Amino acid sequence: MFLGKKANKKIFFVIIITIIICILILYRGIGPASSNNEDILKEPYEKISAWIVDWQWEAGIKDFKEIRKNLSSLQVFAAYFDYHDNLYFTNEFNEVLPEIIEINSDNKLVNLYITIVNDRFNEEGNAVQKDPELLKRLMATEESRNNHIDEIINMVTQKGFSGVEIDYENIDDDIWENYIDFCSKLYQRLSSIDKSLRIVLEPKSPIDKLTLPEGPNYVMMAYNLYGYHSGPGPKADESFIRDLGLKMGKIPGDKIIAFATGGFDWSDDGKVTALTESEAVKLSEKAVDNLKRDESSGSVYFNYFDDNNINHTVWYADNRTLDEWFSISKQLGYNKIALWRLGDMQQKTLDYLNLDANH
């Protein structure tokens, strides 16, 4: 039996629709070769946290105002020690803390932490940075640890912070056990008054040999691969980040990976200078060649000559660098990002950090 023209048209139409549906199903199932990776990167990051430092308040507050709605917390890096091993705050901290609280007053969008670092000011007012001897005294006995905890609890209660961040570096191997005991008890005391605890870890921390307490949030410093201690290079690269990511797998609970803005200037006369992003961009106007971007780190680098005809090499991170580092972190399963530090960032970087979930 022969079908009429109308029937033929209907069959043809059904066949075409069926083919289109099959193609769509097949495409969605297979997709382009890169689609899986793209989907990973499009999953939202949690809001970042960031540090603000007492020696760069004005620029830090400017950046804080710009990106605070995309911050989960702000760490106020401003608690040190005096020559009696007691907590010490600079005049800048006392002047500016009320301004930070005022900026953050509408619905308290951002949790405020006070960061305590083992920098010790001597009687002459000079600072010994990351003092290991100070830590030995603070961690020496159960009594010394408890006294230190009491002082921290009193301070955080009086100043109204959401929590405390401990950034103790250059920890000697023989005091790690006491330091872990200190962290565990500090966490318990803070939890009892509804305060949080963050603990910063250096890349060299012997995590594989430690049993860190559950409860605190741990922050891994994924920066200063190159810096004061080395020749020119990026603050982090892919290999460095991936190695730290594997190391972080042994850390309990919530884990945060921290990256650094800015860069360094290495002079041929041996001087090394830390730079903010804006300072690096300003120096790039003197570059002898076009700016280059390192494939392994996403960092920008260039050379220039100063007024004394001395050659300098500059490496720094911009918005594209941060995006690459954040993406590697995401691929490793770490969605919580911390940024060292606010202040003097370029507008493109602020715009990037202000994007909803960064992707």
Per-residue pLDDT tens for 281-301? 999 999 999 999 999 999 999
Res. 26 pLDDT band, cuts 50 70 90: very low
Res. 105 pLDDT band, cuts 50 70 90: confident
Report whether pLDDT(43) > 80: no
Length of the chain: 359
Report whether pLDDT(108) > 80: no
Reference 226, options 268, 262, 278, 200; nearest CA is: 262
pLDDT at residue number 47: 82
Reference 162, options 113, 100, 108; nearest CA is: 113
Q: Which residue has 């507008």 as its token pair?
A: 347
If you average pLDDT over residues 305-316, what whole number do you get?
Answer: 98
Strands 300-305 and 292-293: what pairing? antiparallel
- Residue 59: strand pairing partners: none
Residue 83 φ then ψ, to 5° = -75, 0
pTM attached to this predicted model: 0.86
Long-range contacts (CB closer than 8 Å, 24 or more residues apart) made by 302-311: 306/267, 310/267, 310/268, 310/269, 311/267, 311/268
More confident residue, 119 or 95: 119
pLDDT tens across 156-193, in order? 999 999 999 999 999 999 999 999 999 999 999 999 99
Distance separating alpha carbons of residues 173 and 139, to the nearest angstrom: 12
Report whether pLDDT(127) > 50: yes
pLDDT tens across 8-25, in order? 555 555 455 555 544 444
Does domain 49-61+70-202 sit in CATH 3.20.20.80?
A: yes
If you average pLDDT over residues 292-318, what whole number do you get?
Answer: 99
Instruction: Report helix, strand or coil for 240.
Output: helix
Reference 182, options 118, 248, 138; nearest CA is: 138
Report the CATH number of the 222-359 domain. Answer: 3.10.50.10
3-state helix, strand, coil in the chain (%, to 5): 45, 25, 35
Domain coordinates in residue numbering, the chain: 49-61+70-202, 222-359
Return the H-helix or E-strand segment holding 150: helix 142-159
